[in-house]
């Protein structure tokens, strides 16, 4: 009965159903960027540990290629797997080409910069152990700062979306349904439709702001129709259930 009343609220507003269907369809396109970002950040968080291990191995007298292959086999996760696969398949090409291929496969700007620095250090016959150790410390500090910033901004972004897209529509719907219920003869369909459009526009702005805060504006575009439809559906459905 409750579900029927909820769906009945959309009889005069087909736009909500269209947005929900479109939003669910587009949300499938927003999942791959999230997975790709998590993959890249996993690689970058493992990078300082790999560099530190390489520094110790080079200091112990091992060659760079030998040390990388050994550490790739000992490093869990995507980073170690990519490094091992690339180096093991490098018999038909040069070591420099293998490093370039590895950096490209990670799709990480951090790894690509590190590979360029290592290649330059090898060509200039620079003290590789010290360079690897310094890179490990620098990227560890960088990733700590990035992780802290992402956690803070992610929390704020989610709070904005939850408040504007979910909390506010339900709150206003409760007030409207309680003090101007349709069961008492109040004719406020036009008012409800206008408010639903307002909450839809507010949700689009809130999702865009949250995406911009987190540095994921392009990724958030896939989710905006779903949040807009959800906000409008929550308001109209809640008004119907509370006010009758």
Which positions ≥6 away from 242 have C-beta within 8 Å?
173, 174, 176, 177, 178, 181
Q: Does residue 46 or residue 10 have the better pLDDT?
A: 46
Element housing 133 (H / E): helix 128-161
Co-location of 97 and 140 in the same domain? yes
Q: Is the pLDDT of residue 1 over 70?
A: no
pLDDT digits (tens, 9 = 90+) for 120-155: 888 888 888 899 999 999 999 999 999 999 898 988
Nearest Cα residue to 232 out of 34, 54, 14? 14
Q: Is the pLDDT of residue 224 over 90?
A: yes
Show which of 111, 146, 181 is a domain's final residue: 146
Co-location of 113 and 135 in the same domain? yes
pLDDT of residue 11: 62
Co-location of 14 and 53 in the same domain? no
Co-location of 34 and 49 in the same domain? no
Question: Is-contact 232 196, C-beta < 8 A?
Answer: yes
Co-location of 31 and 152 in the same domain? yes
- Taking CA 225 as the corner, what is the angle to CA 220 and CA 231, rounded to the nearest 5 degrees? 105
pTM for this model (two decimals): 0.81
Co-location of 142 and 154 in the same domain? no
pLDDT of residue 2: 55
pLDDT of residue 12: 67
Interatomic CA distance for residues 171 and 166, integer angstroms: 9
Co-location of 125 and 170 in the same domain? no
Q: Is the pLDDT of residue 48 over 90?
A: yes
Which positions ≥6 away from 201 have C-beta within 8 Å?
228
Percent of the chain predicted with pLDDT > 90: 38
pLDDT digits (tens, 9 = 90+) for 5-34: 555 656 667 788 888 888 988 888 889 999
Co-location of 134 and 161 in the same domain? no
Domain that holds residue 60: 43-146
Co-location of 74 and 142 in the same domain? yes
Question: Is-contact 224 208, C-beta < 8 A?
Answer: yes
Interatomic CA distance for residues 54 and 81, integer angstroms: 16
Show which of 100, 121, 146 is a domain's final residue: 146
Co-location of 141 and 173 in the same domain? no
Phi and psi at 90, nearest 5°, equal -95, 10
Quote the number of domains for the chain: 2
Co-location of 160 and 70 in the same domain? no
Co-location of 58 and 17 in the same domain? no
């Amino acid at each position: 009965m409750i579900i029927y009343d909820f769906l009945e609220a959309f009889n005069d507003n087909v736009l909500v159903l269209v947005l929900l269907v479109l939003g669910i369809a587009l949300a499938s396109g927003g999942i791959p960027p999230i997975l790709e970002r998590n993959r890249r950040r996993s690689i970058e968080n493992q990078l300082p540990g790999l560099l530190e291990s390489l520094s110790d191995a080079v200091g112990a007298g091992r060659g760079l290629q030998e040390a990388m292959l050994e550490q790739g086999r000992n490093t869990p996760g995507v980073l170690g797997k990519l490094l091992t696969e690339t180096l093991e398949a490098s018999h038909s090409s040069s070591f420099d080409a293998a490093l370039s291929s590895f950096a490209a496969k990670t799709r990480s700007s951090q790894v690509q910069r590190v590979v360029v620095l290592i290649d330059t250090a090898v060509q200039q016959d620079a003290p590789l152990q010290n360079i690897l150790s310094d890179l490990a410390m620098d990227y560890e500090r960088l990733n700590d700062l990035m992780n802290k910033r992402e956690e803070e901004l992610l929390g704020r972004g989610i709070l904005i979306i939850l408040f504007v897209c979910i909390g506010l529509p339900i709150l206003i719907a409760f007030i409207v349904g309680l003090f101007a219920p349709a069961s008492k003869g109040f004719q406020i369909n036009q008012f409800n439709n206008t408010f639903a459009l307002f909450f839809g526009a507010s949700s689009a702005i809130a999702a865009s702001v949250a995406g911009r805060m987190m540095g994921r504006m392009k990724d958030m575009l896939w989710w905006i129709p779903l949040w807009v439809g959800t906000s409008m559906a929550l308001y109209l459905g809640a008004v119907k259930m509370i006010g009758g």
